[in-house]
Structure 1
Amino acid sequence: MRPSRGRCSVCRATHVLLAVSCLVRRADGAEVIGTALVAKATGVGHRRLAARLGRPASTVRGWLRAFACNADRVGALFAGLLVELDPLAGPIAPRGSGVADAVEVIGVVAAAARRRLGVLGAVSPWQLVAAVTGGRLLFPSGPD
């Protein structure tokens, strides 16, 4: 996939325009990476995941490590979004690791968005993640 570029009318600079199904500097889509993160949250190792997804083990290990570094920030970002989408949402039970906790809150937010927005919220949980994080889910500085 080759992303489009757009020119900013204010600064006149060009910017890469990513689809909501993409993450910054990743060749694989958000759905594939999200599948790996969900599996990791359940305890599957990177080699088994790589074989299942047909990707190099080093690539999958890189996704998992990058997400592990950002898991606390992602979890906090999505917990705040959950309160905005569903102020009456109860507490989310801890899952035992930062990765599993972040994946859990992402799923809860995706369900809340679908309830609240209906058809407008009809994007996959990982497209929602890509949109909310500006494609920076696995970026070294974390999501905005």
Structure 2
Amino acid sequence: MLIVDTDVVLVERQLRAGELTCPSCGAVLAPWGHGQPREIRGDLGSRLFVRPRRSRCCQVTHVLLPEMMWPRRMDAAEVIGAGLEIAALGMGHRQVAAHLGLAEDTVRGWIRRFRRRSEDVRRYFTVALVALADDPVMPEPAASPLADAVSVVAAAHRVAATKWPEMHTVSRWAFAGRAIDGRVLTCTPSAS
């Protein structure tokens, strides 16, 4: 799996031009059909229909997942991120679920997973913040590790948007997912 831009025309052009490489071996990826169509819940109850592109190298296929999605999630990155931001304010999963209009079990799962990963996410984006900013301003310590992680993701996104104006159109949670290969909730990110 490789997290790519949400613009399908751009991704197709990059794939056909040999600009996308395998995350494992570094070989150029070639087109290889499409994945299963997916329905993703977007902001304000919208439904997004996505059919991810597939690619191939070294006899292995890779799903090219748009940055607005995270692996194995039915909700868009910005919806999950909004829930995490609300949880960072100290609200419980029931309040977050009610605010977003989603099932409590779904939201509880996000928050639990993010809590387990929050220190790794905080560390990764702190390193990114220092690397991106000429004179980084670190966020003040927050009330919890979850809140610390949320605030440093926001700070890194602000700096990236200052450095690259096109980042203003990318939500901070799509940015976060792209930066750590969609592994905000699933696997411990590696600091690279």
| Normalised TM-score (structure 1) | 0.92
Instruction: Report the more deviating stretch, 83-92 or 49-58.
Output: 83-92
Give the structure, 1 or 2, with the largest relative contact order (CA under 8 Å, sep 6 or more).
1
Which deviations, in whole Å up to 9, do the C-alpha atoms of 1:82-119 show, x marking residues without a partner? 01110311332100210000001011111100111112
* 2:171 is aligned with 1:131: no
User: What is the aligned counterpart of 2:162 among 109, 115, 127?
Assistant: 115
Aligned counterpart in structure 2 of residue 4 of structure 1, from 28, 49, 52: 52
Partner secondary structure for residue 83 of structure 1? helix
Cα distance, 1:111–1:120 mapped onto 2, change above 3 Å? closer
Inter-partner Cα distance in structure 2 for 1:26 and 1:3: 14
Counterpart amino acid of residue 84 in structure 2: L
Partner of residue 88 from structure 2, selected from 41, 56, 68: 41
Instruction: Provide the aligned C-alpha RMSD in A.
Output: 1.4
Whether 2:137 is the aligned partner of 1:90: answer yes
Where does structure 1 differ by over 6 angstroms across 4 or more consecutive aligned residues? Answer: none
Task: Give the number of the structure whose residues are more often strand, by fraction.
Answer: 2
Aligned positions, number: 142
Give the SS at the match of 1:8. Answer: strand
Q: For residue 5 of structure 1, report the CA deviation from its aligned partner.
A: 4.1
Q: Secondary structure at the match of 2:66?
A: coil
C-alpha distance in 2 between matches for 1:94 and 1:12: 46
Matched to 2:92, the amino acid is G
- Inter-partner Cα distance in structure 2 for 1:77 and 1:105: 9
In 1: Cα distance, 2:159 partner to 2:179 partner: 14
- The DSSP-based 3-state class of the residue aligned with 1:93 is coil
Q: Which runs of 5+ in 1 are unaligned?
A: none
- Quick check: which one's helix share is greater? 1
Secondary structure at 2:137 match in 1: coil
Aligned pair partner of 1:24 in 71, 87, 90: 71
Name the stretch that deviates more: 89-98 or 39-48.
Answer: 89-98
What fraction of aligned residue pairs are identical, expressed as a percent?
A: 37
> Hey, what does 1:143 align to over in structure 2?
189
The structure with the largest alpha-carbon Rg is 2
Find the aligned partners of 1:53 and 1:92 in 2 and give their Cα distance: 26
Stretches of structure 2 lacking an aligned partner (at least 5 in a row): 1-37, 39-49
